[in-house]
Structure 1
């Protein structure tokens, strides 16, 4: 059984989560290593590729373990192995929380234990709901084994086959899945997993078509919860069902969902949607922080990169926003900065990917610094390169806009003018691009126009040009209400300042910055009774806020004067209404995992290169290192990789970047490769690992098929893994690795930020 924080383990027992065995299951008869492909036998898969077909080349290739906190479900299938059934149950629980990568791992483990289990392959297809190519490959394997299974399992396979039917219209395919699930529910009324999936697919597909009854779907979910009160899927799907609609309908499920699957980050994240919609920002922040910590513990335990989790950036940027609303700015900045600094991947989060961790981190970081008037920190973060802006127009806009606000606040008119000029050029370039691309939205220019209008208003205000300034502000549609209220206050437009400040609070209730601005404005216009009333609304938020923030420091002397004059009366606590089933049961979140991501340590290795020199992990200390695991001199793709990397070897050495290659060959084969007479240079040290000990230890190994895999790793000077790619094919993006290695070196050379909470 995988270890978990003590609270999670306890919660899993309370919630009835899986607990089957103290040791990870292993296959009785592992498959022999796969031979390399050759021209004489093209049917043999290439080295590192699966013997089972293309669909098995991707996804998890390390064995699964039965783990606490994945959600309690029972999904009986035809199998001769009880251990396989346990992994099927675990995989279905993971499916219900959209934990697709680990669900596929669980189903692969089940198939490894019982290769004839058709539903293990059905599960792999379910785990690839967003990858039709792979899902179809797994369904073919399920169909091959379907002769010996019962009618219920047959119906599951048929329903998913209908969804992935070749050439069918999307609407017909979706209807085929719904009809298939309806048949299961009708013929097997006690199959509550089918009922939960029917609710989910009905909601999803109705939402696509813009029709349907949420209440009807809610009745289906009620039926599941009546029978299985802690069913993870039922609570999960109810939150989605009422998200941004009538979130009060999901508040009970929001309070329970994490308890049903405490080991899955998404089970903590989704209740945050409900609480955000209900303006319960402290509860939302608690849920999102829990999600981040569970994810970070999982990544450290399973040695997973952040970019390998599809919704990771989304979850953490939401945490930043939730913390921003309640004034937990330092932790939010730590999370945002961490997103910027995290590992990158050339395929999964390039500069044009709006959902990447880096884009999300930059936007949230600058948003926090501007919202809380941390102008010196913003200017310093940009000057040091810490924000690491890309050249994408929307990021160039955000950089010019945020710096412009900082320089305006510092009365630096010259640098403000530079940012206005930069923003005008960006806007002009984007306007030309928009005219040349009619498919672009008519609103595409609004962010640029709004940012420019606000900066031009700031410049006019600094010159004493009050009317033109507010004409500009009127066009700044994204300008925060509290900022506009303070602008009015600065020129003694007291009536406008109060009106705008009150409107900002009404539009953003229970958020700290607009409430703080309202207190400040009301006090300035001699409405202290109203200011005190506003502060009583603000005070509960300050309990969790950072008290060194400028927006709160300005209120300290005001509140101190009220107290010294005897004019202050704190708000009376509201009477308790007893136990609240919608309340969040809080725990010490540090027990779940760390707040921010940090590189997991490289694992030990040992070997001797072709010159007889011994190498081990301590030899790499103080150097950034690229480690390549390759499948011997007979792997043509590996030779392509080594030649490509070899051309950069000397240049990397000059930058204090080491490179090692570890081969599946014997020492003799490594020497022959190194000393080849084909005028092909392999200058990097090459270590022999014929027993595959290092391959296994570093995870460059397929546990299900007992064969080595290609692996490329970037290790920083402190011994942390900053990038890894383990796959059926070798990684060839040497230019990316050079850039990433240089970035990692710069990161370690910079002063470390304060430790996050």
Structure 2
């Protein structure tokens, strides 16, 4: 079933379970038995380029601009700039309790499963040397509650336990002060952090329900829009966040992360033009900030990784390769601090395999250009996957076998990270490709299906496929090679449910439909493909194939 998105692109319609899931989550959200207290007039403070919010407090008037700026930046995960703003507020008013709370909050990154406890405690101790002293010094009951919550977050104990206790404190605070949209927004964010960086649908629905209410009340609240997007950034739930995605970028043009975050929804729905445009805007903000610090621009990093993938889905291979090789040059730029070079090398290793999963050009520069990933074993294995696939494309089976052997030998040694759950998928898809290269189609199909089942057991990626080559798509490719187009159509359909409008999956789906005698299905799929490749490189074979099929069907 296809519907037209607000941008005019075809996107998959959500499943019927969507409304039921959201309704259930709202009804299930517990409410603590407490008496509500008034916060005061909810007058919004707007800061150009960052959004608007209301956060009444006892700080000095001369500290308010920096404080509100810090909170707005904090909501957009611009943590370094937010910390600077909160320290400026502290300088303006050394007794400003929430300015120290705010700086401490910049050292927890719930969605990324990161926390710097020592830095946070150091910030809080500058206000007062202990939790008890901070409670005694804070001027209002509400500000005491904020400090009590952050002291729980950075208390003694395991991170998972502390995150849970902190979420309860924020739930209590938001129930005590139901007019306090900041308490509700930070409660929504706390819920997103409970799954320690993984997607937990019921908890995400609870968070999204809270954030949606704040967003409806204040459509210029960056945290509300941001947390709505994070809650619903999978293909099934993404339509719920479309309004927030369309609002967040224009609301906060000076926050690079705000520009990028919109693409969590656009990518989940296969809206590639929007993915590219938003990440170009995010990169422009980053480059401006780097230039202001006297540093050169970068073609690496999170936003460029998504931009690369968007280019590939549009068939813009020249732009994709230029971006990728630009990142490679950054990794070799000795003018840069060593840490930035190292970060660039890791970004390149990931981007390269993402590129090699889609390209069919074994002679392109990325195929033969690797980096030293240093101590990051998971990036070494990610790079090995891409090298193995590129080797098979150019007929170097021995090199592909060596890369596969490395992944097999070291898979169990990879420390936990956001990439590590996909190492078995890399191992399985490269194994399947090797078996297919050896002419053992049935064995290759079994390996691909095993990898696909494992991948299906993992939470849906909220960005470019960490599997690089989705295993279900590879299963479809192998089935097509075996002449089993009907089964391939099913495999591609399953793959599209997980990665909507992915170019190579959509191409396989169109081919399978045509080969299995379903011209109406093939026509729709090729029409989607032609639409998707409207800005593709001149002469792109996939675009020519789509147009040729549509022309043949039109002439009948």
Normalised by the length of structure 2, the TM-score is: 0.71
Gaps in structure 2 of 5+ consecutive residues: 1-43, 109-114, 415-419, 452-468
Question: Residue in 2 aligned with 1:671?
Answer: none
2:371 is the alignment partner of 1:388: yes
Distance 1:484 1:221, change over 3 A: closer
Does structure 1 conserve the Cα–Cα contact (< 8 Å) formed by 2:308 and 2:324?
yes
Distance 1:427 1:454, change over 3 A: same
Question: Residue in 2 aligned with 1:228?
Answer: 218
Does structure 2 conserve the Cα–Cα contact (< 8 Å) formed by 1:397 and 1:448?
no
Q: How does 1:338-353 map to 2 (within 5 A)?
A: 338-343=326-331, 346-347=338-339, 350=342
The match for 2:426 among 428, 447, 450 is 447
The match for 2:127 among 127, 136, 142 is 142
Q: How does 1:34-45 map to 2 (within 5 A)?
A: none
Distance 1:486 1:290, change over 3 A: same
Does structure 1 conserve the Cα–Cα contact (< 8 Å) formed by 2:212 and 2:228?
no
SS at match of 2:99: helix
Cα deviation code 1:315-345 (max 9, x no counterpart): 3222322332332333333333333332575
Deviation at 1:139, TM superposition (A): 0.7
CA–CA separation in structure 1 for the residues paired with 2:548 and 2:213: 57
CA–CA separation in structure 2 for the residues paired with 1:183 and 1:526: 60
Does structure 1 conserve the Cα–Cα contact (< 8 Å) formed by 2:530 and 2:547?
no
Does structure 2 conserve the Cα–Cα contact (< 8 Å) formed by 1:327 and 1:542?
yes
The match for 1:471 among 419, 443, 447 is 443
Deviation at 1:425, TM superposition (A): 4.7
Does structure 1 conserve the Cα–Cα contact (< 8 Å) formed by 2:529 and 2:546?
no
Does structure 2 conserve the Cα–Cα contact (< 8 Å) formed by 1:163 and 1:174?
yes
Does structure 2 conserve the Cα–Cα contact (< 8 Å) formed by 1:336 and 1:362?
no
SS at match of 1:72: strand
The match for 2:247 among 253, 256, 264 is 256
Question: Residue in 1 aligned with 2:503?
Answer: 512
2:310 is the alignment partner of 1:331: no
The match for 2:269 among 271, 278, 298 is 278
Does structure 1 conserve the Cα–Cα contact (< 8 Å) formed by 2:408 and 2:427?
no
CA–CA separation in structure 1 for the residues paired with 2:495 and 2:351: 20
Deviation at 1:91, TM superposition (A): 0.4
Distance 1:382 1:121, change over 3 A: same
Question: Residue in 2 aligned with 1:70?
Answer: 50
CA–CA separation in structure 1 for the residues paired with 2:287 and 2:143: 36
The match for 1:102 among 58, 70, 81 is 81
Deviation at 1:94, TM superposition (A): 0.8
Q: How does 1:52-91 map to 2 (within 5 A)?
A: 68-82=48-62, 84-91=63-70
The match for 1:375 among 339, 362, 366 is 362
CA–CA separation in structure 2 for the residues paired with 1:450 and 1:171: 33
Answer 1 or 2: which has greater helix percent.
Answer: 2
SS at match of 2:52: coil
Question: Residue in 2 aligned with 1:190?
Answer: 179
Deviation at 1:188, TM superposition (A): 4.0
Question: Residue in 1 aligned with 2:146?
Answer: 156
Does structure 1 conserve the Cα–Cα contact (< 8 Å) formed by 2:226 and 2:258?
yes
Cα deviation code 1:141-192 (max 9, x no counterpart): 1226873733332332222122222x34556644553454355445544322
2:194 is the alignment partner of 1:205: yes
Q: How does 1:362-441 map to 2 (within 5 A)?
A: 362-377=349-364, 380-383=365-368, 386-388=369-371, 390=373, 393-395=380-382, 397-408=384-395, 416-423=396-403, 425-426=405-406, 429-430=409-410
CA–CA separation in structure 1 for the residues paired with 2:514 and 2:222: 49
Deviation at 1:454, TM superposition (A): 1.1
SS at match of 1:109: helix
Distance 1:233 1:474, change over 3 A: same
CA–CA separation in structure 1 for the residues paired with 2:400 and 2:206: 53
| Higher RCO, 1 vs 2 (CA within 8 Å, ≥6 residues apart) | 1
CA–CA separation in structure 1 for the residues paired with 2:502 and 2:212: 34
Gaps in structure 1 of 5+ consecutive residues: 1-15, 20-67, 351-355, 409-415, 436-440, 462-467, 568-757
Does structure 2 conserve the Cα–Cα contact (< 8 Å) formed by 1:420 and 1:455?
yes
CA–CA separation in structure 2 for the residues paired with 1:215 and 1:428: 37
SS at match of 2:220: coil
Distance 1:324 1:501, change over 3 A: farther
Question: Residue in 1 aligned with 2:460?
Answer: none
Does structure 1 conserve the Cα–Cα contact (< 8 Å) formed by 2:58 and 2:139?
yes
The higher radius of gyration belongs to: 1
